[in-house]
Amino acid sequence: MYQLKNKIGILVLGLTVLISCHGLEELNENPNQIGSDNVDPNLLMSTVISGTAKNVVGLGFGDMAGVMQHTQKDGWSGGHNSYDWSNDSHSWNGYYSLLNNNKTLIEKAEADNLDFHLGVGLVMKAYLFGMITDLWGDAPYEGALRADEGVDFFDAVFDEQKSIYTGIFADLTRANTLLSQSQDAYFSIQSQQDILYAGDVSQWRKFANSLALRYYMRISVKEPGLAAEGIRRISSNPQQYPIITDADDDANVDYVGASPNDSWPTNTEFDTSPQGAYFRIKMSATLVDALQLLDDPRLGVWANEIEIPLVLEAGAPDDYDEEIEGERHVSQKLVDDHLAIVGEPVDFDKEYVGLPTAITLGPAFNLKKEFNQGSYNPHVSQLNDIYKAASGPLLKSRLISAAEVHFILAEAALNGWAPGSVEQYYNEGIQQSLNAWGIGDSYSAYISGPAAYGDYEDIMEQKWIASWSSATQSWFDYRRTGLPDLQTGPSAKRAALPLRFYYHIDEIDNNTANADAAINKLETTPFKGEDTSNNSAWSKMWLLQGTNKPY
């Protein structure tokens, strides 16, 4: 990512999220009455990029990090740990608001023959519609954002998921062509408004093609022929289809850190509560254990060591509990009581302790003395202190990375869809992830240990690890592959990980016929539970139907 000298980072430009009355027509109307004839496309570009970046972190470091067991919360944790979602949990209105701004960007770029801005608009359109269909399934696409054309578009039809992916591929192919000229062939670029790549056309072209690889792999189980053709075409012709292969080119957006709205979500500079987000969120035991087995240096970048290790004092009286030289010594009786009450054994690791998945008494885990939700626990690892800051060199919204691209190519090479060595792509994915987190010099020692390539599961495990803070992508991979093999905890809403977001009640109430048609096409699973219709987080969208994945 290009590092802006003035550290522009994520800009919060006051996007208005509107609730639709007839499908999406209110989102078709710009609240400030800005049309393509009187708007600066550069300002729209920064609005769309910043809003997208906030959404990526909001999910990938939020509920999706809980689902994929990167993190767990020990306070106010239902949506994060237990998938306690419903049809009022997640709305797509914010995405369509961004797409409305992006539509104006595209219209202005087309009217003024601004190929760079048009290419950027198409990439962001693909990114946002990709997120919508990945999260919900069928969704308004061709008819979205068109209410200004008449009442026929007030109730937006939900396009089939396959056709949305087809549109995404078409937009990204067009973007690659538009962005294929030399830098000096473009005009009206204001580098300070491009908070992603500072107006570097070649970087946007790499972003477009890397995003296409992501989506070809996304549909690879459902449409293997289409996926194989697309991946072969891109991976075998780097001159025509350049991609992101180095962490310096990652599509990352910095945080400004000047206010609560443009700061990292767990910062303690603006959220000073002892029960704030930083103190509620702990690294999951699932991830901690995996990183420890691999002797992974990223563990120390992402989490702190525990403050006070626990020591079992064999033969001590039942009520024995004493701190000696920075360690807390406890009796077997206290350990046994903890297991009976909390449902989890005490973790005596002296360095890193993660929070188990969806436990019922998270605030009491590991013999915490004060039973306060979401407060500091000296016997469990907190996030690294970098996550207390409002901004910093590692606090980025990570839209797509070189590590992800290499892991996609490793999987593709395993299928015979990309030239090159599976192991080489795998190794390079690890190298670029370590580079992205500032510890690239640890690669040689790391790859010579337990992290050495063995099989397909290794690729997916390392891709899951590398998605830290952007865990939404690992959720989509899990749905496609069933990897890593994650298990739910005792407080989970269902005994399986969710597969999608519920269609929101506003859309169901205001665009009933089209929403119902989409809901009826969803395929239920044994984990539907008490959901009264097919509109369940445990129902399968088109992408998963017939694949036997992940269950």
Last residue of a domain, one of 343, 371, 388: 388
Averaged pLDDT for residues 468-487: 98
Q: Total domain count for the chain? A: 2
pLDDT value at position 150?
Answer: 76
d(C-alpha 395, C-alpha 386), whole Å: 8
SS3 (DSSP) at 415: coil
- Are 149 and 251 in a shared domain? yes
- Are 110 and 200 in a shared domain? yes
Q: Is the pLDDT of residue 271 over 60?
A: yes
d(C-alpha 310, C-alpha 149), whole Å: 67
- Are 251 and 376 in a shared domain? no
Amino acid identity at 425: Y
Amino acid identity at 243: I
Residue 457 lies in a domain: no
d(C-alpha 155, C-alpha 69), whole Å: 38
- Are 176 and 237 in a shared domain? yes
Q: Is the pLDDT of residue 464 over 80?
A: yes
The dihedral formed by the CA atoms of 64, 68, 74 and 80, expressed in degrees to the nearest 10: 30
- Are 231 and 367 in a shared domain? no
Residue 480 lies in a domain: yes
d(C-alpha 250, C-alpha 350), whole Å: 35
Q: Which domain holds residue 124?
A: 8-72+89-255+469-551
Mean pLDDT, rounded, of the chain:
93
Q: Is the pLDDT of residue 470 over 60?
A: yes
Q: Which of 404, 428, 424, 422 is nearest to 477 (CA)?
A: 404
Q: pLDDT (tens digit, 9 = 90+) per residue, 481-523?
A: 999 999 999 999 999 999 999 999 999 999 999 999 999 999 9
Q: pLDDT (tens digit, 9 = 90+) per residue, 150-164?
A: 777 779 999 999 999
pLDDT value at position 17?
Answer: 33
In the numeric block, the tokens 């859309």 are attached to 507
Residue 535 lies in a domain: yes
SS (H, E, C) 270-300: CCCCCCCHHHHEEEEHHHHHHHHHCCCCHHH
- Are 67 and 204 in a shared domain? yes
State the pTM of this model: 0.94
pLDDT value at position 37?
Answer: 65
- Are 174 and 250 in a shared domain? yes
pLDDT value at position 36?
Answer: 55
Q: Is the pLDDT of residue 13 over 70?
A: no
Last residue of a domain, one of 361, 388, 415: 388
Last residue of a domain, one of 388, 411, 443: 388
Give the max Cα distance, the chain.
Answer: 81
Query: Would you state the structure tokens that stand for residue 462, as one six-digit string?
Result: 């390392």
Averaged pLDDT for residues 300-328: 98
Angle at 298 between CA 295 and CA 304, to 5 degrees: 100
pLDDT value at position 45?
Answer: 97
- Are 106 and 247 in a shared domain? yes
The contacts of residue 38 (CB under 8 Å, 6+ apart) are: none
pLDDT value at position 29?
Answer: 42
Q: Is the pLDDT of residue 7 over 50?
A: no
Q: Is the pLDDT of residue 326 over 80?
A: yes
